[in-house]
Amino acid sequence: MKDIEELINKRKKYKNTILQKKLNSKKNTVAYVTTDKKPRVLKWFVPGLKRNMENEYKVLKKAQSELNVPTIFEKDDKNNVLILNYIIGENLCDIINDEDTSYKEKERLMIFLSEWFYTFHNFFKKDNEFLIHGDPTLRNFIFTDRIWGMDFEETRSGRPVEDIAGACASLLSTDPMFTKEKYRLCNVLIDNYIKLAPGRISDINKDIAYSLLEKIQWRPEQEETLRKYSKRIRQKGIKAIFEKVI
């Protein structure tokens, strides 16, 4: 992964760009910058992931006027860069894992998140086929006075349950991990989505279990823990576990 300063300092196009903060990304180089004193996000894709850039561009271009997603200002094909607006808010993962955030507020945010997924899935629904976010970790959502979805390079055709299960796996596996409160919040997310879209989700436990196993590739040091809870959720179900840990 290249350093964003290489893009800014060596490309004439970005001579008026000032780096403000480097942002976390597993695959690409992402930064909050100011360009001509305007706040922007630069997402610099590695050459091998140009298809991902095209995928994210198409999703955002179609959704930006209707959904809570970043606005695209430019697609720089020469340098494999998307230039997006900077959304001033707080990362959803950090809010949920902050011990100073009340449970009532966390529950409210889970309801907002279920509504975001419901709106996204409905917007891209065609006949009986859905487009899903594809990487629904809580770090891909920002909260202002509403939930904003970020990072759509892995968006693809799929089942809505994959997004909800992935969000639950993200919630459960971030510190503090697998707590009573986390199980309860997962049930809030699941139940509210089901309320919005009856019949759309069934047997979510196996999808949550699978999503937890997927995280091992990024966190091999937690493999034993992730496998343990994946097996438990697959066998007993997330509602049954919550009722037991109360």
Q: In this structure, are residues 141 and 92 in contact, taking their beta carbons and an 8 Å threshold? A: yes
Answer whether residue 4 shows pLDDT above 90.
no
Q: What is the pTM of this model?
A: 0.94
Q: Where are the domains of the chain?
A: 4-85, 90-245
CA angle 104, 150, 186 (to 5 degrees): 35
User: In the prediction, which pLDDT does 1 show?
Assistant: 60
| Tens-digit pLDDT profile for residues 60-84 | 999 999 999 999 999 999 999 999 9
User: In the prediction, which pLDDT does 81 show?
Assistant: 95
User: In the prediction, which pLDDT does 245 show?
Assistant: 60
Structure confidence at residue 196 as a pLDDT band (50, 70, 90):
very high
Q: In this structure, are residues 85 and 39 in contact, taking their beta carbons and an 8 Å threshold? A: yes
User: In the prediction, which pLDDT does 243 show?
Assistant: 75
Measured CA to CA, the distance from residue 187 to residue 94 in angstroms comes to: 19
| Tens-digit pLDDT profile for residues 169-178 | 999 999 999 9
| Tens-digit pLDDT profile for residues 142-180 | 999 999 999 999 999 999 999 999 999 999 999 999 999
Structure confidence at residue 222 as a pLDDT band (50, 70, 90):
very high
Give me the mean pLDDT over the 23-49 stretch: 89
Pick the CATH number of 90-245 from 3.40.50, 1.10.8, 1.10.510, 1.10.287: 1.10.510
Q: Is the dihedral of CA 14, 19, 20, 21 positive or negative?
A: positive
| Tens-digit pLDDT profile for residues 88-142 | 999 999 999 999 999 999 999 999 999 999 999 999 999 989 999 999 999 999 9
State percent of the chain over pLDDT 90: 83
Measured CA to CA, the distance from residue 36 to residue 120 in angstroms comes to: 33
Answer whether residue 17 shows pLDDT above 80.
yes
Cα(first)–Cα(last) distance of the chain, in Å?
44
Largest CA distance in the chain: 60
Q: In this structure, are residues 13 and 51 in contact, taking their beta carbons and an 8 Å threshold? A: no
Lowest-pLDDT range of 5-19, 52-66, 122-136, 225-239: 5-19
User: In the prediction, which pLDDT does 6 show?
Assistant: 84
Give me the mean pLDDT over the 22-30 stretch: 84
- Mean residue pLDDT of the chain comes to 94
Q: CATH says 4-85 is which class?
A: alpha beta
Please count the residues of the chain.
246
| Tens-digit pLDDT profile for residues 122-135 | 999 999 899 999 99
User: In the prediction, which pLDDT does 103 show?
Assistant: 97
Secondary structure class of 7 (helix, strand, coil): helix
